[in-house]
Structure 1
Amino acid sequence: MILFRYLTREVLLTMSAVAGILLLVIMGSRFIRYFSDAAEGDFPVNILGTLMLYHLPGFMELILPLAFFLGILLAYGQLYMNSEITVMVACGMSPTRLLKVTLLPASAVAVLVGVCSLWLTPAGALKTAAILEDQRSRLDVSVLAPGRFQEFGGGRTAYISGFNDDGEMQDVLVHEQRQPGDEGAYNFVTRAKTGYQETRMDTGSRFLVLNDGERYGVTPGRRNAERLTFERYTLRLGLSRDRQELDSLEYTTTAALWRDGNDRAQAQWQWRAGLPLMVFVLAIMAQPLSRVNPRQGRFAKLLPAVFLYVAYLSLLLAAVDAVGSGAWSTVLGIWPVHGLFLVLGLLMIWHSQRKGMR
Structure 2
Amino acid sequence: MIFKSALRRELSFTTGGVFLVLVTIMVTTLVIRILGYAANGTVNPEDAIVLIALATLGYLAVLLTVSLFVATLIVLVRWYKDSEMIVWFASGLSISNLIRPILQFATPLIIVIALLALFVWPWANRETTLISQRFQQRDDVSMVSAGQFKESARAERIFFIEELDVDKSEVKNIFVADNKNGRLSIAVASTGFIQNSEGGEKSIVLRNGRRYEGYPTEPDFRILEFNDYTTKIRSKEALAPAPRDREKTISELLNDGNPNAINANRAELLWRIGLPLMALGLVLIAIPLAYVNPRLGNYTAMFYAVLIYLIYSNLLNLTQNFVAQGKFSVFVGVWPIHLLALLIATILIRNRINPSVKWWRRQLPAALAKK
Q: Deviations over 1:204-239 (max 9, x none)?
A: 444446677643322698453233446775533232
Shift of 1:121: 0.9
Tell me the secondary structure at the aligned position of residue 28 of structure 1.
helix
Distance, in Å, in 1 between the alignment partners of 2:83 and 2:294 is 8
Query: Out of 176, 183, 187, which is 2:184 matched to?
Result: 187
Distance, in Å, in 2 between the alignment partners of 1:75 and 1:302 is 12
Distance, in Å, in 1 between the alignment partners of 2:188 and 2:73 is 65
- Relative to structure 1, is the Cα distance of residues 150 and 200 closer, same or farther in structure 2, using a 3 angstrom cutoff? closer
- Relative to structure 1, is the Cα distance of residues 194 and 125 closer, same or farther in structure 2, using a 3 angstrom cutoff? farther
Distance, in Å, in 1 between the alignment partners of 2:305 and 2:286 is 8
2:232 maps to 236
Tell me, yes or no, if the aligned pair for 2:157 and 2:177 is still in contact at 8 Å. yes
Tell me, yes or no, if the aligned pair for 2:95 and 2:288 is still in contact at 8 Å. no
- Relative to structure 1, is the Cα distance of residues 327 and 5 closer, same or farther in structure 2, using a 3 angstrom cutoff? same
1:74 maps to 74
Moved more, 287-296 or 299-308: 287-296
Tell me the secondary structure at the aligned position of residue 55 of structure 2.
helix
Q: Which residue identity lines up with residue 215 of structure 1 in the other structure?
A: R
2:180 maps to 178
Q: Which residue identity lines up with residue 252 of structure 2 in the other structure?
A: A
Tell me, yes or no, if the aligned pair for 2:195 and 2:205 is still in contact at 8 Å. no
1:111 maps to 111
Q: Give RMSD over aligned pairs.
A: 3.4
Query: Taking every aligned residue pair, what percent have the same amino acid on both sides?
Result: 26
Moved more, 75-84 or 148-157: 148-157
Shift of 1:76: 1.6
1:346 maps to 346
Q: Deviations over 1:167-207 (max 9, x none)?
A: 9988765432326xxxxx52323456788x84749764444
Structure 2 counterparts to residues 1-358 of structure 1, below 5 A: 1-143=1-143, 150-158=150-158, 160=160, 173-178=175-180, 186-191=183-188, 198=194, 200=196, 204-208=200-204, 214-218=210-214, 222=218, 224-229=220-225, 234-241=230-237, 243=239, 245-260=241-256, 262-297=262-297, 299-355=299-355
Q: Which residue identity lines up with residue 184 of structure 2 in the other structure?
A: N
Moved more, 98-107 or 231-240: 231-240
- Relative to structure 1, is the Cα distance of residues 172 and 9 closer, same or farther in structure 2, using a 3 angstrom cutoff? farther
Aligned length: 352
Q: Deviations over 1:117-164 (max 9, x none)?
A: 101111121111112112222214444678976533243353659778
Tell me, yes or no, if the aligned pair for 1:320 and 1:334 is still in contact at 8 Å. no
Q: Which residue identity lines up with residue 214 of structure 2 in the other structure?
A: V
Q: Which residue identity lines up with residue 226 of structure 1 in the other structure?
A: R
Moved more, 95-104 or 241-250: 241-250
Distance, in Å, in 2 between the alignment partners of 1:57 and 1:260 is 25
Distance, in Å, in 2 between the alignment partners of 1:147 and 1:356 is 81
Q: Which residue identity lines up with residue 13 of structure 2 in the other structure?
A: L
The normalised TM-score by structure 1 is 0.84
Distance, in Å, in 2 between the alignment partners of 1:248 and 1:328 is 21
2:361 maps to none
Tell me, yes or no, if the aligned pair for 2:151 and 2:159 is still in contact at 8 Å. no
Q: Deviations over 1:320-350 (max 9, x none)?
A: 1111111123321232011111111111111
For structure 2, the residue ranges without an aligned partner over 5 or more in a row are 359-371
The normalised TM-score by structure 2 is 0.81
Distance, in Å, in 2 between the alignment partners of 1:73 and 1:11 is 10
Tell me, yes or no, if the aligned pair for 2:278 and 2:312 is still in contact at 8 Å. no
Distance, in Å, in 2 between the alignment partners of 1:324 and 1:166 is 49
Tell me the secondary structure at the aligned position of residue 187 of structure 1.
strand
Shift of 1:114: 0.8
Shift of 1:45: 2.0
Distance, in Å, in 2 between the alignment partners of 1:289 and 1:132 is 44
